[in-house]
Structure 1
């Protein structure tokens, strides 16, 4: 049983450390979404969703989602796409009743033309954000039972495994390299208890370097029963206090998406989240 637990811990650590290095320029322009079938009207909806995602992924600036010109271009998103492909998410599952390929869920992957997309971004006075620091996430948690803990790369609790997966997914969508410290690294840095939000930047910087990163994304997540959901607060350790952000009344998937999008906003130089 112990060997199985160790394998799980090592697998989680590898997921966090592999494949999340500095994103290559070509990788930034590839995004995916889920569509209800492959019909042209469904495909075009997917193209529009992919355009919105790739604009934020490439620039780190979520404020572009509010731009009228982006909404207009989304209706012609295919003009900026170099290639795309579909994969049936139910491949191998027989079609039942009158269901056809029209409404079966598919993964749509779009690769945008780098030259065309960059030209489109220039119309917003934006450029690709290529130099991305390797972040170490220092996250203190107080759960629904009132138990306090730190999210670590090698903790074996089932909830922590799910949280790590959610964090990786959020970071991957924005191509933001991210790591979690191990339990030992947290203890060596004096951060084994969730008081990280008040820890001085120097100590957090030391922990980030110890864990193989460059800067620290610091956060607290507290479960609130009324209304039910997580209350999360985030900051970049060495950034000005004005750049703190957060979200409340959400599941941890949304809390981590909020953490990563805010971090990208700050680190890409596009002011506060």
Structure 2
């Protein structure tokens, strides 16, 4: 009996290992399935829960989901989507509301009709894929590289890089994360300590070559560096934005003018997604 005990213990350990591996496989599969399902989900803000505003919300979310699933930022504002958006309800699998004023008393006689709600919409995967096929596109379901995003904001005498922990970039950080979620991308931002350590604190990002950002991007957990420079223009009443990303031996550059920084971030991250998903260059021809 004494000689058999190690065998019994080994058999028990082996069984436990197999069970743990099985659980890990199931967990990973579930995580991947959840990530895939999130691609077919979008959110917008509507007023009240009446059908008229809900239909408008469905149309808005449909465009976002088509861009998110395909990675094709160029679909934004595409006239070909008009027919699909007018019938967006037929592509919806489920939806729900979250009252932004939950727990707060009704402020006037209109009740809940004037309250803002987060409308979350899940679309039928096969139907979305069918629309993309009709548009000459396909779902981007392969690995999506994590973007290390370096954004410099310049407004008069103020000039700073958006970080994960800097107080002065709270609004921009939240907007970047929201833009990434809306375009189905994962991003990482540099910390203030990491910028200081690498000598980039206070640097003009446009003058820093991609090779100079690569080590910091890797250290922060990013796979591809995306660089943005936003300059506020009083004349245009908006941000003038230039983006840059190196991918597969090419430097891609694109720009957008006269927009909010929220829209600039969506165009930046969306443009990166378009390149990575092989849907074309957002700025035209790329440089070798």
Q: Which TM bucket (shorter chain)?
A: 0.7 to 0.9
**Alpha-carbon spacing, 1:78–1:197, altered in 2? closer, same or farther (3 Å):** same
Q: Deviations over 1:178-226 (max 9, x none)?
A: 1111233334434233332232222222221111110000122223333
Q: Deviations over 1:97-130 (max 9, x none)?
A: 4303333322211111112211221111222222
Contact preservation (8 Å) 1:136, 1:179:
yes
- Does structure 1 residue 240 correspond to structure 2 residue 254? no
- Does structure 1 residue 24 correspond to structure 2 residue 31? no
Residue 166 of structure 1, CA deviation: 1.3
CA distance in 1: counterparts of 2:97 and 2:162, whole angstroms: 36
CA distance in 1: counterparts of 2:58 and 2:240, whole angstroms: 33
> Could you tell me which of 111, 121, 126 is aligned with 2:132?
121
**Alpha-carbon spacing, 1:101–1:265, altered in 2? closer, same or farther (3 Å):** same
Contact preservation (8 Å) 2:183, 2:266:
no
Contact preservation (8 Å) 1:204, 1:237:
no
* Counterpart position of 2:185: 176
* Counterpart position of 1:161: 170
Structure 1: gaps (5+ residues): 1-20
* Counterpart position of 1:60: 71
Larger Rg: 2
Aligned length: 249
Query: Secondary structure in 2 aligned to 1:101?
Result: helix
Aligned CA-pair RMSD: 2.3
Q: TM-score, normalised by structure 2?
A: 0.78
Map 1:1-273; keep pairs closer than 5 Å: 24-130=35-141, 131-145=143-157, 147-155=158-166, 157=167, 159-238=168-247, 240-241=250-251, 243-273=252-282
Task: Tell which has more relative contact order, 1 or 2 (C-alpha 8 A, sep 6+).
Answer: 1
Q: TM-score, normalised by structure 1?
A: 0.81
Residue 53 of structure 1, CA deviation: 1.1
Further displaced range: 258-267 or 59-68: 59-68
Contact preservation (8 Å) 1:38, 1:102:
yes
Contact preservation (8 Å) 2:73, 2:267:
no
CA distance in 2: counterparts of 1:92 and 1:189, whole angstroms: 46
